[in-house]
Amino acid sequence: MAAKQHSRRESSAMTLFKTQSLRRRLVLISLITTGLTLLLANFAYISLEYYLAKRDTENKLQVLGDVISDRITAALTFNDKALLESNLNTLQSDGAIVRGCIYRQDQTLAASYHSKAHERIDCPNYLPRVDTLKTYNFSRFFPVTRAEEPIGTLYIESSRDQLLERFFQFLVFSIIIMLTAFALALFLANKLKDVISRPMRELSDTLTEILNKKVYSIRATKTNNDELGDLVDLFNRLLTTIDDENQSLKASEERFRKLTALSPVGIFQVDPNQNLQYVNQRWRDIHGMTNDHPDLQDWFEMINPKDLVNVQEAWNRLVLDQESIALEIRLTRPDMAYTWIHLMASALYDRDGQLLGYLGAISDISELKAAQVQMETLAFFDPLTGLANRRLFKNRLVTSVKGAIRSGKSMALMFLDMDQFKRVNDTLGHDAGDVLLKEVSNRLSNTVRENDTVSRIGGDEFTILLTDISSVQDVRAVAEKILRAMSKPIRVKGQDILTSVSIGITMTPDDSTDTNVLMKNADLAMYSAKEQGRNNFQFFSEEMNHSILEHLAIEKEINEAIERNQFTLFYQPKISLFDYRTTGVETLIRWQHPDKGIITPDNFIPVAEETGQIIDIGNWVLEQACRQISSLIRKNIMPADAKVAVNLSAKQFTDPDLAGRIRNVLEITEIPPRCLELEITESTLMDDVEAAIRIMQEIKSTGVSIAIDDFGTGYSSLSYIKRFPIDVLKVDRSFVMDIPDDKNDMAITAAVIAMAHKLDLNVVAEGVETDEQLQYLRLNNCDEGQGYLFSRPLSLGQLHQYLVISAERRSNSYEI
């Protein structure tokens, strides 16, 4: 209640101040300013004076206490009361000291002193009673010590009377100065009000005349060249501006009407009674209306029923709360076509705040909406198949995982990769591949529910999100359904194509709730499905994760092996089956691991192929083999026409710099081009036959020979073999090893030899280990052989020794 009364008094005082004339307010402001300034200054000076006097008194007490406590140590030790009182009597020199008390170690009074002006104030007999005394004087306790051990306490008390007397004298002096300054300020304020108020009164009279006569050509007279004179100039300029604005306003109104008539935006005005007052031609065009006086209710009836509720609510807020409207809505035109418009409207007021009505504008955004839909489609959907793309898939994957965690149900992620899609693309063309992708997309979409998501995340890779899964059997059923759907032939360019998919599956929350981990798991499971023979599905397991970790460990060790030069070369001799002379060697790589010993290529080459490390390894093998064999040829240890065969990996074969690298190695190692033979596997050549032919022609241009390794294990045909610019066919050991037990292998081997000779190709049989195999190969005119029957793979030093011994044996046989 008291707060409300105080607030009312403040409000009344402020109202009273505002109703006063300018002259009185100037005087009041001057007096209040002067008074507050002097009051604050005096308060600051008095406070400072009091603080300094108090500090001097306390410093004086400190000095007295330190001196006396130091002097009474011996007297207090021997309880010499006369000497103690003698020391205390030195306090008489300071008239402000009220009393001094010395207490023993047991807190009893040993000696005391009190001022004659304060005889009634005496020292208590016990030290604790001193703390209970209520006094406004200054006081201080000082410990009395001997050898840093307390032996008593000194108490000194000083009167405040002198301090207060000095304070009151200063206060009286300050009041006299303040009253004098206040009178002077009153005098100056009265003078100031005349200086300011007179020009203001003249300006007010001029303004009153202008308003009464409505003549804006009248101007105020400038009598001063100060700030008030500048105010008169501004006043006169304002009158000129008002006159100009009146003329400009009339011209603007005319321009506004012309602009609204030609505006590309529909403009309308509604009065407070909800009647359309004005619409421009563009508004009529957008709505397809031709009547001269359109009705607001007719306009509401044109709004699409799906948007009508939102528009009515927004319009009500505009009318009731004057809340502006900004909406995107659809209109149904008289021809029943939809038009997207952007509606904006707000309340219109006059200068007094009275509601004049509502002003709005509409824009036709149909083309913008169409473009927006197209952009969203491009951003989130695959343009070829219409499926969700990688971006939308990732968004839905995150949402699905969160939903599965909240609901406590499972979710499955399938990763699908089409088998042999590249072959269809290469043989039938990309347009056929597109047809195949579309049909696969349709079949995938038809195998899942509407709330599941099928995505194409790139190339021939697809993903499927299965939500609200109750058991693993549900996922298995969907996977089997997909495989059955894919097993049916697809008609492309008049041909029935059989396609299949490999599916990797992972589930949440069992496998993980991290989206990146789930993607990795599904990818690993998909690769496991491909390794199992394709056209199947595999669920993710920890064994797969262990396998990939082991794969990564090997990858890291291969990098270290390359950096630390841990690889070494072995050579297996190739022997002429006609005269048993050494015709060349095949280069074999071994890994001399510092902990695991010798590691064969089967244990690290597949990993190097996947990671791309095979490029560095292959380049090293090519250069080292040429360098070492070139040295043996120059020393006449190996025949001048012998060949060193080096295997080319698939990644090396497709390296665009391969031909240049071969030329560089030939130049560096000084090996004759005829002495180098590059072995390429049959499967590498058949990935892209036309490209393979171009690459082999580039290799042949360097002068080196080309051999097809492991012939008969792939899927090449005679039509391709005769087009390949090759020199040698190597019969795979899988056909040689069962001779003479397997008649089929014997027939195949004989046929390959005969076919190669018909094509003018040299034939090398791999894996010759028995005399029966050797005799059969000789009988069928096989040119060369290699295998354990002749020699195991040899180090460079062992190869040197082998060649020397072979030469000696041949020499001895000739002599005999």
pLDDT tens, residue by residue, 312-367: 888 888 888 888 888 888 888 766 777 888 888 888 888 778 888 888 888 888 77
- 489 and 631, same structural domain? no
Give the distance from CA 803 to its chain's centroid: 64
Does 403 lie in the same domain as 337? Answer: no
What residues of the chain score a pLDDT lower than 50?
Answer: 715-716, 815-816
Q: Which pLDDT score is estimated for 712?
A: 61
Sign of the four-CA dihedral 359, 363, 369, 371: negative
Q: How far apart are CA 505 and CA 523, in angstroms?
A: 8
Both 577 and 430 in one domain: the answer is no
Tokens, residue 405: 């965690």
Strand order in the sheet with 97-104: 109-114, 97-104, 149-158, 138-146
Sequence-separated (6 or more) residues with CB below 8 Å from residue 646: 587, 621, 622, 625, 626, 676, 677, 678, 679
Query: Helix or strand or coil: residue 539?
Result: strand
Enumerate residues 6+ apart whose C-beta is below 8 A from 77. 146, 151
**What is the pairing mode between strands 567-576 and 784-786?**
antiparallel
What letter represents residue 681's amino acid?
Answer: T
Task: Return the C-alpha torsion angle 648, 652, 656, 658, nearest 10.
Answer: -40
- pLDDT score of 208: 78
Query: Residue type at 668?
Result: I
Q: Which of 310, 326, 358 is a domain's end point?
A: 358
**Is residue 351 located within the same domain as residue 387?**
no
Same domain, 508 and 578: no
Is the domain of 475 the same as that of 585?
no
Collect all residues with Cβ–Cβ distance below 8 Å to 287 and sequence separation of at least 6.
266, 294, 299, 302, 331, 333
Indicate the average pLDDT of the chain.
82
Is residue 199 a part of any domain in this protein? no
The answer to the question of residue 209 being in a domain is: no
**Considering the domain boundaries, does residue 79 fall inside one?**
yes
Q: How far apart are CA 685 and CA 708, in angstroms?
A: 9
Tell me the two tokens of residue 229: 């004179």
* 348 and 392 co-located in one domain: no
Residues 560 and 532 in one domain: no
Angle ∠(253,259,264) on CA atoms, nearest 5: 150
Which tokens sit at 47? 């406070």
Instruction: Tell me if 137 sits within 8 A of 157, measured CB to CB.
Output: yes
520 & 635 share domain: no
Q: Tell me which amino acid residue 442 is.
A: N
Put the strands of the sheet holding 325-332 in their side by side order: 276-279, 266-270, 355-364, 338-349, 325-332
Is 325:347 a contact under the CB 8 Å cutoff? Answer: no
Could you tell me if residue 374 is inside a domain?
no
**Bridge partners for 784 per DSSP:** 576, 764
Q: For residues 762, 768, 771 and 775, what is the CA-based torsion angle, rounded to 10 degrees?
A: -20
Which contiguous run of DSSP H or E holds residue 768? none
Q: Which domain holds residue 650?
A: 553-811
Q: Are 688 and 737 in the same domain?
A: yes
Same domain, residue pair 638 and 771: yes
Among 512, 540, 568, where does a domain finish?
A: 540
Query: Sheet containing 410-418: which strands, arranged edge to edge?
Result: 453-458, 461-469, 410-418, 501-508, 537-539
Q: Which of 159, 177, 212 is the last residue of a domain?
A: 159
pLDDT (0 to 100) of residue 720? 66
What CATH number is attached to the domain comprising 290? Answer: 3.30.450.20
- Asked whether residue 525 falls in the same domain as residue 578, the answer is no
| pLDDT of res. 571 | 95
Number of structural domains the chain divides into:
4
Structure tokens at 558: 């291969």
Q: What is the pLDDT of residue 331?
A: 85
Measured at the alpha carbon of residue 567, what is the angle toward residues 566 and 569, in degrees to the nearest 5? 145
CATH code for position 756: 3.20.20.450
